[in-house]
Structure 1
Amino acid sequence: MAEKKANPFTDLIFNVIVPSVILMKLSGDEHLGSVGALVIALAFPVALGGYELIRFKKFNFISLLGFVSVLLTGGIGLLELDTKWLAVKEALIPGLIGLGVFISTYTKYPVVSKMLLNDNVLNLPLIREKLAMNNKQDQFDRCLVQSNHLFACTFIFSSVMNYILATTIVTSPSGSAAFNEELGKLTLMSYPMIAIPSMLMMMGIFYFVWRKTRQMTQLESAQIFKAQ
């Protein structure tokens, strides 16, 4: 049976909407208080990550960084550290991922190749046969290298935008109700301003690889992809 994962709608609710509403609406002393709201809001993405780990028994490097990011956010708020550390943290996580993707270009396991060259999705034997027949294997490999660099750039974009948003939106002292409200706004704003543009850029990279594959192999889409 094919492995399943929580759908994007569930991720959006648990990682963005619910934490943002709690932080923005329930941080006042008349509700949960700044500490209580922060702890409960951060508990939702932690709970979702733990549930997926237990159910699907899969925990990768990206998931680990996400978990660490949540803990760091909680630590900054609970320890009432300078808000500049929140901006640094927001930029650091995607920056590390982008660096890892870039470094992977020079290893045996480039990230884009691992993601796209999947035997369950692509007819790899036929693709390799056509690339060899058309003497395009080296050109195809260069295409994958370019795609991996572009993929790394999407995370650099996220890193820069995270830093800009964090320094612009979160200006109140950490540990205060105002800090929680601004953190909720930051979480909510990061989805349309960072996540969606990054997703569109990734789709553009996948389209670029698909188009180049068609050009180099002279295969139709039905031949490139395995029938499901």
Structure 2
Amino acid sequence: MNSSPTHKPRPMVDLIVSVILPSVILMKLSGDDRLGVSGGLIAALAFPLGWGLFELIKYKKFNFIALLGLVSVLLTGSIGLFELDNKWLAIKEAAIPSIIGIVVLVSTFTPYPLVRALLFNASIMDVDMIKQKLEEHNSTAAFEKTLMRATYFIAGSFAFSATMNYILAKWIVTSPAGTEAFNEELGQMTLYSYPMIAIPSMIMLMAIFYYLWRSIHKATGLNIEDLLVKK
């Protein structure tokens, strides 16, 4: 029997803890009369870092993307605290989604392609029934091609994220690391990244999921109510 609590998505909590609070701290509390440059940076990074560790420890599930998020936070903190050239921030911002995109592509050559975990998995869809209907309609091979195209689309969404992250970091963060201005610009970048990168990427993933559903519907005749797992 699995005693681990069930993870329920909490997008508003994630947004507040990982984006809004760190941004406010960086922009408003990094002055010498408040927390100071280093203190403000550490306090801001503590929120997403602490929340990510809490999620990983409490639900006892290895989450590759969450792990990359923690690594990203630690790298950002290192750049600021050790006062490295801020070009490394832009490189880091582009590297994380690039790594995810590459892993998604490479995973298609393994027995555990990530596209199945992201879009075609038993916790979301009635996978067994879908496979049965695909076999009945002789559509299994065609559906595998659809999954491969969905993989390319997902990798493309991460390529978009990597490009936009790099552009945003180069555009906004121009002050030397270890200064109050650097912290303020880092906070602005964090805020802007949500509407400029996170929301468009989410829309892309929803469009890919819709494309996958439409393909399954055409191949099997099943409606969306039939595809989804009954809770």
Do the structures match in fold with TM over 0.5?
A: yes
Q: 2:97, 2:159 within 8 Å by CA — same for their partners in 1? A: yes
2:96 to 93, 96, 119: 93
Who is 1:4 aligned against? 7
Mean Cα deviation higher: 214-223 or 35-44: 214-223
Is 2:180 the counterpart of 1:177? yes
Who is 1:58 aligned against? 61
Alpha-carbon separation, structure 2, partners of 1:45 and 1:199: 19
Residue 65 of structure 1, CA deviation: 1.1
Mean Cα deviation higher: 112-121 or 51-60: 112-121
Corresponding letter in the other structure for 1:88: I
Corresponding letter in the other structure for 2:209: F
Residue 188 of structure 1, CA deviation: 0.4
| Stretches of 4+ aligned residues off by more than 4 angstroms | none
Q: How does 1:45-124 map to 2 (within 5 A)?
A: 45-124=48-127
Q: 1:105, 1:149 within 8 Å by CA — same for their partners in 2? A: no
1:183/1:144 Cα in 2 relative to 1: closer, same or farther (>3 Å)? Answer: same
SS in 2 for 1:173: coil
Residue 117 of structure 1, CA deviation: 2.8
Is 2:19 the counterpart of 1:16? yes
Alpha-carbon separation, structure 2, partners of 1:6 and 1:217: 30
Alpha-carbon separation, structure 2, partners of 1:114 and 1:68: 22
Is 2:159 the counterpart of 1:156? yes
Unmatched tracts of structure 2, length 5 or more: none
Residue 6 of structure 1, CA deviation: 5.2
Q: 2:56, 2:63 within 8 Å by CA — same for their partners in 1? A: no
Aligned-residue Cα RMSD (Å) equals 1.5
Mean Cα deviation higher: 41-50 or 190-199: 41-50
Alpha-carbon separation, structure 1, partners of 2:198 and 2:126: 31
Q: How does 1:124-139 map to 2 (within 5 A)?
A: 124-139=127-142
Unmatched tracts of structure 1, length 5 or more: none
Who is 1:224 aligned against? 227
Alpha-carbon separation, structure 1, partners of 2:53 and 2:8: 13
Alpha-carbon separation, structure 2, partners of 1:181 and 1:204: 34
Deviation string 1:172-227 (CA, Å, 9 cap, x unpaired) is 01000000000000000000000000000000000000000000011222322233
Corresponding letter in the other structure for 1:164: I
Residue 30 of structure 1, CA deviation: 1.3
Alpha-carbon separation, structure 2, partners of 1:72 and 1:124: 38
Alpha-carbon separation, structure 2, partners of 1:104 and 1:28: 45
Is 2:38 the counterpart of 1:35? yes
Q: Identity rate of aligned residues, in percent?
A: 54
Alpha-carbon separation, structure 2, partners of 1:13 and 1:99: 29
Q: 1:5, 1:52 within 8 Å by CA — same for their partners in 2? A: no
Provide TM-score, normalisation by structure 1: 0.95
SS in 2 for 1:108: coil
Provide TM-score, normalisation by structure 2: 0.94
Residue 54 of structure 1, CA deviation: 2.5
Alpha-carbon separation, structure 1, partners of 2:14 and 2:101: 22
Is 2:190 the counterpart of 1:213? no
Alpha-carbon separation, structure 1, partners of 2:86 and 2:218: 50
Corresponding letter in the other structure for 2:99: L
Alpha-carbon separation, structure 2, partners of 1:179 and 1:37: 11
Corresponding letter in the other structure for 1:194: I
Deviation string 1:48-89 (CA, Å, 9 cap, x unpaired) is 112212321223221211111111111111111111000000
